[in-house]
C-alpha cells in the first residue's frame, strides 16, 4: 500500500493548525476544526486518437470552522503561514458573531471518539499523477485506434481524469488525521453515422477509487470490452425502436447504480429529508416521520450506506468532522431504516434516529469550501446465494435487459423519474433476442423498488459511480460509488423516447 505523499507531509500542517486553533480558543470558540488540504487533478482528452487537450490543477489551502456561542463560523486562505492561520481564525469567529443574530438552532455536535495522529490511504497501486502524460496519451491512442480500425466506427472520444486528494484534519477535541485518496475516471466512446441515423456506444467502465493500474487491466477487462463495442454499436444503429408498454426488466449494475444514486442516495440524505437542503436535486419524499415505516421497496431490497468499501469513490478513513468511516443500513427488508448524517444532524435528531452518533457523511470538496453533508457509497446488496444474470434473464418471458447508463430525469422530491441506458436487449422466453432502441423506463421510486423481485448473487455485483455529484450553494462536487448486483423488476413502464420527443 502506498504511503502519504512526502511533499504533503512536509507542509507545516501541525504548526498552522496549532496557531489557528489557539487563536480560535482565545477568542472564545467552544469548538474548532482545522483542515490543510491539497487536491491535484489532471484531465486528458483525445478525439479520433489525436490529443485535444491536457490540463493539470492543484488547489492547496487551509480552513477553520468554529462554533462560537452556538453558531457556525468559517474562513479559508491560501497562504500556508502562521499569520494566515491566525487571520482565518479571527475571520471565522467574526462570521459566527455576525451570523448569531439569525441563528435559531444553537449548534451542538454528536460525540465521536478521539483519533490521535491517524493515517489512512485509499486502496491503489500506481499513483496516476506519477505516470508521464506521454504514456497516458499513448495508451488512450492505442485504445482509440482499436475502435477506429473496426467496421462501423466513425469517431472515438477518449478521456481520463486522475485525482489525488490529500487532507490533514485536526480539531479542538484532540483528533488529528492525515489522509490520501486516489481516483481515476476513464471514458471511451465510439460513434457511428449511418445515413440519417447517428448513435454512440461508450465503455461501461466506471470511475473508481484506484490508481493507473485500472487503465491497464486491473479491475476492468479493457481488451474484451474494446473488442465488443463496435459490434454492439453496429447492432444498436440497426435495431428496431421499442414498442412502448409494460415489460419485465433485468437491469445490469452498469445501469442500476444511477437509479440508486438518484432515487435512494439523494433521497436518504438527512438534510434533504428535513428540508435544509434543496440545491442540485431538491428535497426528499422520504421525510423523517416515515423512518421505520416507509415501504421503500420489496422485501429483497437491502441498501447500505458505506464509507469503508474498498475502491469506493466516497470511501474515507475519517470524514471532515473527524468521524471514522462506517457501514450502516438505509433500507432493510424494503423499509426505510436510516439516513446519511453528519455530527450536527445526528445530535439534533438523536431521539428520532435512535442514535447519537454521526455515520461520517461530512465532506468538503476543496480547501475553499465548508464541509457539508455528502453522500456515502450507497449500495444495493446482493443475495448471498443469488442467481446469475443469465438465470434472472431466464425467468422473463417478455422483457428487456438494460446495460450501461445514459440520460436520466427525476423530480425535486426524488420520486417521479425516468432513465435510459446504453444497450437494450429484447428478452423473449428467457433468452436475449437482439437489441432495441429508444428505450426509457419510467416509474415512481416506491413503485419501482416495490417491483423488485430478485437480486443477483455476489458474482453479479459491481461498484460503479460518478466523479461529479453536485450539491450545495456555492456548489460542491463529490465522487461517489454505488454497488449493486443485477436485478429483476416486474411490470415496469417503458417509454419510446423518440415518440415522447414528438419525432
* In the predicted structure, residue 384 carries a pLDDT above the cut 90: yes
What is the rounded distance in angstroms from the CA atom of residue 476 to the CA atom of residue 470?
6
Residue 262 has pLDDT above 90, yes or no: yes
The confidence band for 501, taking pLDDT boundaries of 50, 70 and 90, is: confident
Cell numbers for 359:
455515520
What Rg value do the Cα atoms of the chain yield, rounded? 24
Given a contact cutoff of 8 angstroms between Cβ atoms, the answer to whether 115 and 322 are in contact is yes
Residue 41 and residue 163: Cα distance in Å, rounded?
Answer: 4
Work out the pLDDT band at 148, boundaries 50, 70, 90: very high
Query: What's the pLDDT band for 68 if we cut at 50, 70, 90?
Result: very high
d(CA 115, CA 324): 9
Is the whole-model pTM more than 0.95? Answer: yes
State the pLDDT at residue 14.
97
From start to end of 338-450, where are the E strands?
Answer: 362-363, 372-373, 377-380, 398-403, 408-410, 416-419, 423-428, 431-436, 439-444
Averaged pLDDT for residues 458-471: 97
Q: Please say if the pLDDT value at position 1 is more than 90.
A: no
Which of 41, 31, 92 is CA-nearest to residue 62?
Answer: 92
The DSSP bridge pattern shows strands 50-68 and 31-47 to be antiparallel
The C-alpha atoms of residue 239 and residue 194 are separated, in whole angstroms, by 12
The CATH code of the domain at 6-238 is: 3.30.2290.10
pLDDT in tens, 110-140: 999 999 999 999 999 999 999 999 999 999 9
In this prediction, residue 27 carries a pLDDT of 98
> pLDDT digits over 426-452, tens only?
999 999 999 999 999 999 999 999 999
pLDDT value at 195 more than 80: no
Instruction: Give the pairing type, strands 439-444 and 487-496.
Output: antiparallel
**C-alpha distance across the termini of the chain, in Å:** 54
What mean pLDDT comes out for the span 462-477? 95
Confidence grade of residue 196 (pLDDT, cut at 50, 70, 90): confident
Lowest mean pLDDT among 139-148, 191-200, 322-331, 419-428: 191-200
The three cell numbers of residue 296 are 421503500
Strand-pair partners of 483: 463
pLDDT in tens, 73-96: 999 999 999 999 999 999 999 999
Task: Report domain extents, the chain.
Answer: 6-238, 245-500
Q: What is the pLDDT of residue 194?
A: 82
| 258 vs 417: CA distance, rounded Å | 12
Q: How many CA atoms lie within 13 A of 7 on its CB side?
A: 6
Q: List Cα–Cα distances, 432 to 221, 235, 403, 436, in angstroms.
A: 22, 13, 13, 11
What is the predicted pLDDT for the residue at 3? 94
d(CA 252, CA 419): 13
Max CA-CA distance within the chain?
74
Average pLDDT value for residue range 365-390 = 97
Minimum mean pLDDT among 62-66, 126-130, 174-178, 195-199: which range?
Answer: 195-199
Strand partners, 400: 249, 426
197 pLDDT band, cuts 50/70/90, is confident
All cell numbers assigned to 135:
504514456
- Mean pLDDT of all residues in 211-219: 97
Number of H helices, E strands in the chain: 12, 24
Quote the CA–CA distance of 24 and 461 in Å, as a whole number. 47
- In this prediction, residue 48 carries a pLDDT of 98
162-178, pLDDT tens digit by residue?
Answer: 999 999 999 999 999 99
C-alpha of 446 from chain center: 22
Q: Is the pLDDT of residue 65 over 90?
A: yes
pLDDT tens-digit map of 9-33 = 999 999 999 999 999 999 999 999 9
CB 271 within 8 A of CB 277: yes
Instruction: Quote the pLDDT of residue 70.
Output: 97
pLDDT interval class at 198 (50, 70, 90)? confident
- Mean pLDDT, range 238-253, rounded to an integer: 97
Amino acid at each position: 500500500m502506498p504511503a502519504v505523499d512526502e511533499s504533503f507531509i512536509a507542509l507545516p500542517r501541525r504548526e498552522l493548525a496549532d496557531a489557528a486553533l489557539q487563536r480560535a480558543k482565545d477568542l472564545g470558540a467552544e469548538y474548532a476544526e482545522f483542515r490543510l488540504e491539497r487536491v491535484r487533478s489532471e484531465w486528458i482528452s483525445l478525439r479520433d486518437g489525436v490529443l485535444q487537450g491536457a490540463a493539470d490543477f492543484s488547489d492547496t489551502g487551509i480552513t477553520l470552522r468554529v462554533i462560537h456561542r452556538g453558531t457556525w463560523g468559517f474562513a479559508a486562505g491560501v497562504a500556508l503561514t502562521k499569520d494566515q492561520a491566525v487571520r482565518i481564525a479571527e475571520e471565522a469567529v467574526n462570521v459566527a458573531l455576525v451570523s448569531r443574530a439569525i441563528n435559531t438552532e444553537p449548534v451542538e455536535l454528536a460525540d465521536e471518539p478521539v483519533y490521535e495522529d491517524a493515517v489512512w490511504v485509499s486502496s491503489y497501486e500506481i499513483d496516476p499523477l506519477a505516470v508521464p502524460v506521454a504514456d497516458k496519451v499513448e495508451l488512450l491512442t492505442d485504445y482509440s485506434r482499436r475502435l477506429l480500425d473496426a467496421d462501423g466506427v466513425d469517431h472515438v472520444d477518449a478521456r481520463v481524469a486522475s485525482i489525488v486528494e490529500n487532507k490533514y484534519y485536526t480539531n479542538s477535541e484532540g483528533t488529528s488525521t492525515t489522509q490520501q485518496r486516489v481516483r481515476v475516471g476513464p471514458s471511451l466512446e465510439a460513434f457511428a453515422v449511418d445515413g440519417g441515423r447517428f448513435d454512440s456506444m461508450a465503455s461501461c467502465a466506471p470511475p473508481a477509487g484506484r490508481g493507473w493500474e485500472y487503465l491497464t487491466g486491473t479491475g476492468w477487462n479493457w481488451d474484451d470490452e474494446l473488442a465488443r463495442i463496435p459490434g454492439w454499436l453496429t447492432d444498436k444503429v440497426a435495431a428496431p425502436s421499442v414498442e412502448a408498454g409494460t415489460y419485465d426488466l433485468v437491469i445490469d449494475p452498469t445501469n442500476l447504480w444511477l437509479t440508486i444514486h438518484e432515487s435512494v442516495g439523494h433521497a436518504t440524505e438527512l438534510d434533504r429529508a428535513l428540508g435544509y437542503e434543496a440545491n442540485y436535486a431538491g428535497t426528499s419524499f422520504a421525510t423523517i416521520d416515515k423512518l421505520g415505516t416507509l415501504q421503500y421497496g420489496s422485501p429483497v431490497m437491502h441498501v447500505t450506506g458505506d464509507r469503508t468499501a474498498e475502491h469506493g469513490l466516497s470511501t474515507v478513513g475519517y470524514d471532515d468532522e473527524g468521524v471514522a468511516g462506517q457501514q450502516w443500513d438505509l433500507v432493510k427488508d424494503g423499509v426505510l431504516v436510516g439516513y446519511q448524517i453528519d455530527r450536527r444532524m445526528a445530535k439534533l435528531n438523536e431521539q428520532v434516529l435512535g442514535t447519537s452518533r454521526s455515520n461520517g457523511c461530512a465532506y468538503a470538496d476543496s480547501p475553499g469550501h465548508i464541509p457539508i453533508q455528502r453522500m456515502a457509497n450507497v449500495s444495493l446488496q446482493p443475495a448471498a446465494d443469488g442467481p446469475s444474470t443469465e438465470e434472472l434473464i431466464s425467468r422473463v418471458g417478455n422483457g428487456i435487459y438494460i446495460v450501461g447508463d445514459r440520460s436520466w430525469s427525476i423530480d425535486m422530491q426524488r420520486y417521479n423519474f425516468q432513465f435510459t441506458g446504453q444497450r437494450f436487449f429484447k428478452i423473449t422466453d428467457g433468452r436475449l433476442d437482439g437489441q432495441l432502441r429508444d428505450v426509457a423506463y419510467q416509474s415512481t421510486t416506491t413503485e419501482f423498488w416495490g417491483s423488485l423481485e430478485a437480486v443477483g448473487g455476489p458474482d453479479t455485483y459491481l461498484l460503479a459511480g460518478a466523479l461529479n455529484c453536485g450539491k450545495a450553494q456555492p456548489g460542491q462536487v463529490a465522487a461517489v460509488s454505488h454497488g449493486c448486483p443485477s436485478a429483476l423488476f416486474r411490470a415496469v413502464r417503458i417509454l419510446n423516447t423518440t415518440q415522447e420527443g414528438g419525432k
